[in-house]
Every structure is written in C-alpha cells, then in structure tokens.
Structure 1
Amino acid sequence: MNFYLMLKWLHILSATILFGTGIGIAFFKWISDRSGDVRAIRLSSERTVLADWIFTTPAVVAQPLSGLAMALLASHPITTGWLAWSILLYAVAGACWLPVVWLQLRMRAIARAADEANTVLPALYWRYARYWFWLGVPAFLALLVVYWLMVAKPAL
C-alpha cells in the first residue's frame, strides 16, 4: 500500500471515529441527562470524558494532519474551494468542541459531587448541559457538511 492510500485510510478511519464517537457520546450523555438519575448522569459524564480522551482527541489530531498531507501529495492547494470550506467548517466544529470539553469536565465534577452528597444536580449543571447541547448542534452540522465535501469534492 502506498503512502497516500495509508493516509487516506487513516483519514477515513479518524473521520469515522470522530463522527461516530461524537454522536454516540452525545446520545448517551443526553439520554442519561433526561433520566434525571444523578448516579447515571455521573457515570455517563465520566465515560463521556474518558471516550473523548481515548477516541475523539486522537481523531481530532489525525484529521487535519492526514487531510493536509493528502492535499499536499495530491497537489491540491488548500485554497481549493471544497478543501478550503472543509478546513473552515472543521475549525467551526473545533471551536465548538473545545468549550464542550471544558463543559464536560465541569459537568463530570458537578455530577460526582451531587452523587457523593446524595443530592440533586444544581441549576449550574443544567445550564452547562444546555450549552453543551447547543454547541453540539453547529459542530454536528459542520461535520456533516465536511463529510459531504470530502466525498463529493464539488467545484466551488
């Protein structure tokens, strides 16, 4: 297998991990939050943070590195329409993801404290949960478009 195909494999694999882990984390965290069960929310929050470190973070790094390397090898300037839009939308998703990581860490700490004290989650947790959810919407949509751009490579 040549180097370009290895990069392409890594790029597709990391895109799959990034998107799949992101949607999976979002679903299980959101559904756990809806249950109102503090213990379940704590466990979900802990696993969300863990999954982000193990799966999402390496994929977040692999995506631009493999994508830019492929663009260079294929002699695609990064100003090429579909590629430039992919980079921009990936940056939008990243700009949403960074505060989401911080929110997840805070929600994990709040859920642990509430579980250990056997109390309900405070209003701050629910405010963070709303921010977390709404930051996920543009990130999710941006990545959907990036996927399309990656596959279709339209002339823009």
Structure 2
Amino acid sequence: MMYLTLKVLHIFSAIILFGLGMGTVFYKIMADKTRNHAAIAVTSCHVVLADWWFTTPTVLIQPLTGYFLAGQVSAPFSDGWLFWSLLLYAVTGLCWLPVVWLQIQMRDLAVISLEQQQALPAQYFYYSKLWLWLGVPAFFGMVSITTLMVFHNSLWS
C-alpha cells in the first residue's frame, strides 16, 4: 500500500509540475502579446503565485517520493535511468531557480509600470526572453525524465 500511495503522489505531483509549467508559459506569453499593461501585470502576479503555491511544493515532493519509491523497489541510485533522471532533474532545477527570480522581477516591473501609467520598460521584455529560453531546456528535461520513468525497464534491461 505504501508503494502505491507514493507512486500516486509522485505521478500527481509530476502532472501538476509539468501541466502548471505549460499553463503558466501559455498565459504569460499570451498576456505579453497583448501589450496590455493591466493584463500583463495581473498575469505576472498570478504566474508568481502559481509557482509559490503549486510548483514549489511539487519540486519538493518529486525527489522525496522518488527517493522513497526507489527504496521500495530496491533501485540503486547508480542505475542508469535513475542517475540520468536525477541529473536531468538537477539541470531542470538550475533553470527553474533563475526563472523564479525573473518572474518576480517581471511582475514588479509590470505592476510599477501600470501604477505609474508608463510603458513597460525594455528590461521587462529582455527578462521575458531569458525566462522563455530558460524554460526550453527545463521543458525538454521534464519530457526526458518522464520518458525515463516510463521506459526505464525497457531501456536498462
């Protein structure tokens, strides 16, 4: 029963982590395209909140449940699929940390610009490009990790 509970938590948190990431990217890009300060400011605030409320807990739940799942099936961390999953998770996390900082900066720039009724500064759009490009390796990292989780028995047997 413990194994199945851990597995459900692991899978649900992976779904939330990946799905929320895709959703925030979509809504932030769509808001930015409007060039509407109010839409950008509100969306930026929601993106930051979503990261704190949902992404951060799942970022912590994933390795914890993964660790205990590996213990349940006696999978050594030297197994190829597990090693590569952990490495990709670390790389993805290294992309995510600056993304969080960038989101906060963009939110603040958008809110200040809205309050002062000024155009968004060029720095906002520079940060937005960095944010998007840091998301590309994170996206492919998550796809690769998921693939390794599903096919690990086929790839390493």
Shift of 1:79: 1.1
Please list, as runs of the form range in 1=range in 2, the aligned pairs for 1:29-48 lying within 5 A after superposition: 29-48=28-47
User: Could you tell me how far apart the structure 1 residues matched to 2:87 and 2:81 are?
Assistant: 10
CA offsets per residue over residues 123-146 of structure 1, 9 Å max, x none?
111110010000000000000000
The offset of 1:73, in angstroms, is 1.4
CA displacement 1:25-65 (0-9 Å, x = unmatched): 01100111111111110011000001111111111000000
Segments of structure 1 that go 5 or more residues without pairing to the other structure are none
Task: Please report the TM-score for the alignment, with normalisation by the length of structure 1.
Answer: 0.97
Structure 2 CA distance for aligned equivalents of residues 97 and 64 of structure 1:
15
Name 1:101's counterpart in structure 2.
Answer: 100
Give 1:1-156 correspondences, 5 Å limit.
2-153=1-152, 154-155=155-156
What letter is aligned with 1:98?
Answer: L
Return the alpha-carbon distance in structure 1 between the equivalents of residues 31 and 78 of structure 2. 42
Name the amino acid aligned to 1:75.
Answer: S
For 1:37, give the aligned amino acid. N
Letter in 2 for 1:41: I
* 1:13 Cα deviation after fit: 0.4
After TM superposition, give the deviation of residue 72 of structure 1 in Å: 1.1
| Structure-2 separation of matches of 1:121 and 1:64 | 38
1:26 aligns to what SS in structure 2? helix
1:69-107 deviation line (CA, Å, top 9, x unaligned) = 100111100110111111111111100000000000000
Structure 1 residue runs of 4+, over 2 Å off?
Answer: none
Give the TM-score, by structure 2 length: 0.97
For residues 84 and 38 of structure 1, what CA distance do their matches in structure 2 show?
44
- 1: distance between equivalents of 2:146 and 2:72? 20
**Residue 119 of structure 1: CA displacement?**
0.9
The 2-side partners of 1:67 and 1:129 are apart by 32
For 1:95 and 1:69, locate their aligned partners in 2 and report how far apart those are by CA, in whole Å. Answer: 23
- Distance of 1:110 and 1:127 partners within structure 2: 12
Query: Identity over aligned residues, as a percent?
Result: 50
Gap regions ≥5 residues in structure 2: none
**CA distance in structure 2 between the partners assigned to 1:121 and 1:6 by the alignment:** 47
